[in-house]
Every structure is written in structure tokens, then in C-alpha cells.
Amino acid sequence: MKLLVQAFEDEAAPARRLAEALGAPFAAIALHRFPDGEALPTVSGAGETVVVYRSLDRPDAKLMPLLLAAEAWRGAGVRRLVLVAPYLCYLRQDARFRPGQPISRDVIAALIGPRFDRIVTVAPHLHRTRDLATTFGTRATVLSAGDALARALSDGETDTPIVIGPDEESEPSAAALAERLEAPHATLRKIRRGDREVALTLPADLDVAGRRVVLADDVCSSGATLAEAARALASRGARHIEAAIAHGLFDEATLAALSDAGVARIVASDSCAHPGPSAPLAETLAQALKPDLTGVPDR
């Protein structure tokens, strides 16, 4: 069966890396915008299994072209459609937290799930959602960015770090990364006072004096939590502070703020376009995809 990896031009680079890891050809999706802003994608691959690379950070401009492209693939005769979305959007709002608010997780699931035979994502923002497959109504695979981040952090380094999760939610990420690095880990406690204001408490017995420290988290956008954690660790005598992030939703201003807080290096996966070093996810994604790209499921 012929396999084709496709992506929009803005994500051609990571999609090409995935295609190379799969040993598959790559084709870009042409996207035309009408004067009123409507999108018209043109796809390739009639009768093929198509792996669609579309990371859904900053999703509002990306979603409609993706949905239209999915219809075009089906209309062209594609029998199997796999969405590789390293960053999967609108999952944090998984309950109606206040009257009048939507459950955005269910909205995005209804839009994406019926259009794809499988969804592959990395470190999604999950709290009460335990089973993406049930929520999206299609096969879903959740991967970790840990291997990619561990490779990047180990490159040229001989000093074993201590891995720190900046809050309780980051504990699984910190523990998984620490295991890959064969390093100890600990977790801080966080009290959020707003989108950009947090307070952190360090364990009383946490000894980082003279140590290399890696802050590990799933998402960095404003960088407020990481900056506060870096300042707290520096006050305890940490020698060198780095950050390892699954999804880098930050900009140059955030990088500058983290540097001012004492973070010497921030490494994020290439799930999202961001300034600074990237840890490619292609091998992780390809390993998950290869065993399952040999047959066409019934729809």
C-alpha cells in the first residue's frame, strides 16, 4: 500500500522529518485564501493511506483548512487517514467551570474524531480526560516527548542533573524524563494567582546547591511558572538551570524573561514552532506509526 505524508507549508519541515523516518514520500498541501479569508486547500493522494501532519497550536486559523482537507482526501478516495497532531488543542476546558462556558474538549472531539481513522498526539493537556479514543470516537495514541528531550539534554553533557517539576501537574513529565536521564527528580508546589502570577513552595529537604537542574514541564507559554521556579532554585544555590518542555508556546519575550530568571537553556520539542533549540519528535512519532501502517481498517 502506498503511504504518503502530507502537511501544510508552514509545517513542512517537521513533516518532512517524519516522512524520512517512515521512509515515505512527502507532499505539501496547497492552500489558497480567498479575499474574504475563506480557505481552499488542495490535497494529493487518491487511494492512498495518508498521514496528515498538523500540529494544532494556535489552532483557530488551522482548524478550518484541516477539516476541508479531510473532506477533500475522502472525496479523492483516500481509504485511511491518520492525523499526527503533536499538539492537540482545546483539551484544558474539559468541564463547564463557570455558567455560560463551553466544554471545548467535546467540541474539538466532534470536529476531528469522525474525520480520521487514527489520531497520534504528544503529551496532551489532560486532567479529567483519561481516554482520548472514547472522547474522540476514533483510535487515539498518546506519546511522550521524553525520549526526544532526553537526547537533546544529553548531547555533549556528562553531568547528571536533578530533574524538577515546577508544580504537581508536571510530576509525571519530570519523573519520566528523570528515568530516561537516570537522574533523581523532585516536584515543587504551585499556587496560581493569575495567568502570569504564581507562588511556588520548594520541599524543605531539596538540595540543589552546586547542581545542574533541569526544569521539566509539558507546556511553556508565558513562562511565569518556570521563571519563578528558576529564581527559587537559584536562591538554593543551583549551579546551572535548564528547561525541557514538551510544547513550546513561547516567544522571544518569554525566552528573555526566562534568561533573566536564570534559565541558561530551554529545549522544547518541535511540536510547535518556537524560538530556540528544538528536539525533533520524528523518531518517536514514526515508531508509533510504523507497526500500524500495513492495513486499511473498515470505516
Q: Give pLDDT, residue 1.
A: 53
pLDDT given at position 299? 44
CATH of the domain spanning 3-144+281-292, picked from 2.90.10.10, 2.40.110.10, 3.40.640.10, 3.40.50.2020: 3.40.50.2020
Instruction: Please provide the distance, in angstroms rounded to a whole number, between the alpha carbons at the two ends of the chain.
Output: 17
Q: In this structure, which amino acid lies at residue 18?
A: L
With beta carbons less than 8 A apart as the criterion, state whether 78 and 48 touch.
yes
CA distances from 264 to 171, 211, 259 (A): 22, 13, 6
**In this predicted structure, what is the pLDDT of residue 298?**
41
| Residue 239: count of CB within 10 angstroms of its CB | 14
Is 47 a residue whose pLDDT tops 60? Answer: yes
d(CA 170, CA 129): 16
196 — pLDDT class (breaks 50, 70, 90) = low
Model confidence at 126: pLDDT above 70: yes
Q: What DSSP element (H or E) covers 196?
A: none
pLDDT in tens, 219-272: 999 998 899 999 999 999 999 999 999 999 999 999 999 999 999 999 999 999
The per-residue pLDDT for range 69-106, each reduced to its tens digit, is 999 999 999 999 999 999 999 998 888 999 999 999 99
Is there a contact between 22 and 3 (Cβ–Cβ < 8 Å)? yes
Would you state the pLDDT for residue 193?
63
For residue 162, pLDDT over 80 is answered with yes
Own/partner contacts of 31-38, CB < 8 Å, gap of 24 or more, are 31/65
- What share of the chain in percent tops pLDDT 70? 95
Q: What is the pLDDT of residue 158?
A: 78
Alpha-helical runs (H) found in 4-85: 12-22, 60-75
Which pLDDT belongs to residue 45?
77
CATH architecture for residues 146-279: 3-Layer(aba) Sandwich (3.40)
- Beta strand 278-279 with 263-269 is parallel
CA-based nearest residue to 88, from 66, 119, 134: 119
For the chain, give the mean pLDDT. Answer: 91
- Write the CA distances from 33 to 30, 88, 263, integer angstroms: 10, 24, 41
Read off the pLDDT of each residue in 50-79 and give the average, rounded to a whole number: 96
Q: Specify the pLDDT at position 74.
A: 95
Measured CA to CA, the distance from residue 43 to residue 46 in angstroms comes to: 9
Residue with cell 523516518: 21
- CB 174 within 8 Å of CB 187: yes
Average pLDDT value for residue range 183-210: 80
Contacts of 161 (CB under 8 A, 6+ apart): 153, 181, 183, 211, 212, 213, 214, 242
Confidence of residue 283 (pLDDT cuts 50, 70, 90): very high
CB 109 within 8 A of CB 91: no
Strand duo 189-194 + 197-201: pairing? antiparallel
> In which residue ranges of the chain is CATH 3.40.50.2020 found?
3-144+281-292, 146-279
Is the pLDDT confidence value at 191 over 90?
no
Asked if 67 and 39 touch (Cβ cutoff 8 Å), the reply is: no
